[in-house]
Amino acid sequence: IERSIKFEEREKQIRNIINASVYSVITLDAESKIIDWNNTAEKVLGWPKSQVIGRKLKALFAAEDSAGEVFQQIEQLIQKADFNHRDFVTELVTAPSNRLTVKLTLQMISNRDDNVFILNVYDMTDQILQEKALILANKKSKDLLDSIHAGIVELDQSGKISFMNRSALKSLDYDEEIFGENFHEWIQPALPAGGKYEKADSPIINCLKKGDIREIDLDSFIRADGVFIYVQYTCSPLYIDSEISGLVISFNEITEQYKAMQEQSRLLQITESSPEFIATFSLDGSILSINESMRRRLNLSGEIDGSLNFRAIIPADEYKNLVNVAIPTAFMNKVWKGESKLKVDNSESIIVSQVIMRHQASYDGTQYFSTIMADITDSKKAEALLVAAKDEAEAAVRAKSEFLATMSHEIRTPMNGVLGMTQLLVDTSLDNEQKDLVNHIESSGNALITIINNILDYSKIEAHKMDLEPIEFDLERSAYEVCSLLLPKASEKNLELILDFAPDCPKRVIGDAGRLRQILMNLIGNAIKFTDDGHIILQIQSEGGNNERTNLAISVIDTGIGIAHEKHAMLFESFTQADASTTRKYGGTGLGLSICQQLIELMGGQIQVDSEPGKGSIFYFEIELPLPAEQPVLKKSSLQNRRILIVDDNSINLEILSRQLQHIGMQVSTANSHGRTIE
Q: Is 540 found in the same domain as 499?
A: yes
- What digits encode the pLDDT tens for the residues 407-460? 555 666 676 677 777 777 777 888 888 777 877 777 677 667 666 766 666 666
Q: Is 477 found in the same domain as 625?
A: yes
Asked, for residue 261, whether it belongs to a domain, the answer is no
- What digits encode the pLDDT tens for the residues 165-197? 889 999 999 998 999 999 998 998 888 877 888
8 Å CB contact between 628 and 513: no
- What digits encode the pLDDT tens for the residues 449-490? 666 766 666 666 666 667 788 999 999 999 999 999 889 899
- Identify the CATH number of the domain in which residue 439 sits: 1.10.287.130
**What is the C-alpha separation between 583 and 586, in angstroms, rounded?**
5
Residue 171 CB-half CA count within 13 A: 28
- What digits encode the pLDDT tens for the residues 97-120? 778 888 888 988 877 667 889 899
Q: Is 451 found in the same domain as 368?
A: no
Q: What is the bridge-based pairing of β-strands 496-501 and 535-545?
A: parallel
* Residue-level pLDDT at 609: 92
Asked, for residue 549, whether it belongs to a domain, the answer is yes
* Residue-level pLDDT at 524: 93
**What is the C-alpha separation between 268 and 279, in angstroms, rounded?**
12
Q: Is 423 found in the same domain as 481?
A: no
Q: Which of 342, 375, 408 is the last residue of a domain?
A: 375
Q: Average pLDDT, whole number, for the chain?
A: 82
* Residue-level pLDDT at 269: 82
Asked, for residue 260, whether it belongs to a domain, the answer is no
**What is the C-alpha separation between 561 and 564, in angstroms, rounded?**
10
- What digits encode the pLDDT tens for the residues 564-620? 888 887 787 765 554 545 544 544 556 778 888 888 999 999 999 999 898 899 999
Task: Residue 107: name the closest of 130, 127, 77, 134 by CA.
Answer: 77
The angle at the Cα of 642, spanning 641 to 648, to the nearest 5 degrees, equals 120
Distances (CA, A) of 504 to 74, 350, 365, 491, 659: 117, 67, 69, 29, 11
Residue 498 CB-half CA count within 13 A: 21
Most confident of 303-317, 334-348, 520-534: 520-534
Asked, for residue 263, whether it belongs to a domain, the answer is no
Between 264 and 617, the higher pLDDT residue:
617
Task: Note the pTM of the prediction, 2 decimals.
Answer: 0.39
- What digits encode the pLDDT tens for the residues 530-554? 999 999 999 999 988 888 899 999 9
Q: Is 62 found in the same domain as 162?
A: no
Asked, for residue 216, whether it belongs to a domain, the answer is yes
Q: Is 606 found in the same domain as 500?
A: yes
- What digits encode the pLDDT tens for the residues 274-326? 888 888 888 888 888 888 888 888 888 777 777 888 888 888 888 899 989 99
Q: Which secondary-structure segment (H or E) carries 211?
A: none
Q: Where are the alpha helices (DSSP H) in 354-407?
A: 377-406
Region 123-143: mean pLDDT is: 78
Q: From the CB of residue 205, how many other CB atoms can be counted at a distance below 10 Å? A: 20
Asked, for residue 591, whether it belongs to a domain, the answer is yes
Q: Is residue 558 over pLDDT 90?
A: yes
Residues above pLDDT 70, as percent of the chain: 83
Q: Is 405 found in the same domain as 536?
A: no
> Where does residue 295 fall: left (phi above 0), alpha (psi -120 to 50 degrees), or beta otherwise?
alpha
Q: Is residue 123 over pLDDT 80?
A: yes
Q: Is 616 found in the same domain as 504?
A: yes
Between 22 and 629, the higher pLDDT residue:
629
Asked, for residue 485, whether it belongs to a domain, the answer is yes
Task: Residue 27: name the closest of 121, 108, 117, 102 by CA.
Answer: 117
* Residue-level pLDDT at 126: 79
Q: Is 450 found in the same domain as 363?
A: no
Q: Which of 443, 462, 481 is the last residue of a domain?
A: 462
* Residue-level pLDDT at 64: 54
Q: Which of 75, 99, 123 is the last residue of a domain?
A: 123
* 401: confidence class by pLDDT, cuts 50, 70, 90: low
- Identify the CATH number of the domain in which residue 153 sits: 3.30.450.20
Between 213 and 9, the higher pLDDT residue:
213
Helices (H) and strands (E) in the chain, counts: 22, 24
* 24: confidence class by pLDDT, cuts 50, 70, 90: confident
Q: Is 529 found in the same domain as 478?
A: yes
Region 70-86: mean pLDDT is: 85
Task: Residue 339: name the closest of 128, 639, 349, 249 by CA.
Answer: 349
Asked, for residue 388, whether it belongs to a domain, the answer is yes
Region 62-84: mean pLDDT is: 78
**What is the C-alpha separation between 497 and 521, in angstroms, rounded?**
12
Q: Is 594 found in the same domain as 491?
A: yes
Indicate the number of domains in the chain: 6
Q: From the CB of residue 594, how many other CB atoms can be counted at a distance below 10 Å? A: 21
Q: Is 217 found in the same domain as 102?
A: no
Between 657 and 388, the higher pLDDT residue:
388
* Residue-level pLDDT at 328: 92
* Residue-level pLDDT at 62: 59
Name the residue range of residue 222's domain.
Answer: 131-255
* Residue-level pLDDT at 580: 47
- Identify the CATH number of the domain in which residue 543 sits: 3.30.565.10
Region 254-279: mean pLDDT is: 84
In sequence order, the β-bridge partners of residue 644 are: 668
